Amino acid sequence: MLIDGFEDAPLVAGEELLSLPGFWAAYLMWLCETEEDEPDPAWFGVDEADVDAASEALADAERWPVFRIPFGEGHTAVVLARNLADDAGTEYLVTHPSWGRLGHLATLDGHQAGPGLSWRELIHIARTPDQTTAGVHAPNARLLLLLPALGDSDLPADAADVLRGALMWIGVPETETHRVTEALLLDHPYWEPARWSLPSVSPLSGSSNESFTGILCCDEPGSPRCGTRIAQGITREQSDRLAYALGTWPTT
């Protein structure tokens, strides 16, 4: 599998890893850590051996798993495990066949960049799978794969219930769903919750052809989404298609 910018990397489709008993604990436990609590595999209904096996597969230096999340208008969100020995991390990207380069949402590593998604975008992508393209199509799995890229200070009232339902779907014991949900939504280890808004365009700017108004902006300066474009070099038409796919434009 080739992704622009990773032609020489040992990328492999990672979707089969989702069936490992310890996958979700291995993927999300770090995000559950708080000052008061050290996450436990039992929170996810699995044992430590399951988590170790899944963690080893996720961190395989010879097989970098890539999780493809196809959504509207031909776009695909990508979660890529960058398993370099001296520079390991996770990339959250967006691709489209017509783009000349990747779009960047977030990076989790020693030089993190994020957040990469608002709640509104996360839910819309999760719930609009493109069944014609290979990848992860189950809405709950899509939501949880992209959850580490989330950073939103204005979560809706039902956010906890939506996440709790996804956790129960992956087998988190009902007795633990409240604890895990609270930990996942409470504090992100890498960044503060951000405010998201559509950019305002001044008619006096003289650059209306460059004003891509449908993509949400993030107010966190460390986020790739701090500007109005997810991918540099895309056209206004391509940006509009992405905005439609993200459910952020046109607004009513």
- The residue among 232 and 180 whose pLDDT is bigger is 180
Please report the pLDDT score of residue 211 as a whole number.
Answer: 52
pTM, full prediction: 0.94
What mean pLDDT is predicted for residues 191-212? 66
Structural domain harbouring 156 = 11-189
CB 24 within 8 A of CB 170: yes
Residue 196 domain-assigned (yes or no): no
Q: Answer whether residue 55 is part of any domain.
A: yes
Q: State the first-to-last Cα distance of the chain, in angstroms, to the nearest integer.
A: 39
pLDDT at 250 over 90: no
- Beta bridge partners, 69, equal 77
The answer to the question of residue 251 being in a domain is no
Domain annotation covers residue 250: no
User: How many CB atoms are closer than 10 A to CB 140?
Assistant: 18
Tokens of 213: 């108004």
Q: Which two tokens stand for residue 103?
A: 């779009």
Average pLDDT in the 102-131 region? 96
Kindly state whether residue 239 falls inside one of the protein's structural domains: no
What are the tens digits of pLDDT across the range 126-161?
999 999 999 999 999 999 999 999 999 999 999 999
In this prediction, residues 172-194 reach a mean pLDDT of: 94
Lowest-pLDDT range, 94-108, 133-147, 150-164, 189-203?
A: 189-203
Token pair for 91? 């990339």
Does 1 reside within a domain?
A: no
pLDDT digits (tens, 9 = 90+) for 28-56: 999 998 777 889 999 999 999 999 999 99
Look-up of token digits 């989702």: 18
Name the DSSP class of 117: B
Instruction: Let me know if residue 244 belongs to a domain.
Output: no
pLDDT at 252: 41
State CA 83 to chain mean position distance: 18
Q: How many domains does the chain have?
A: 1
Q: Is residue 132 part of a domain?
A: yes
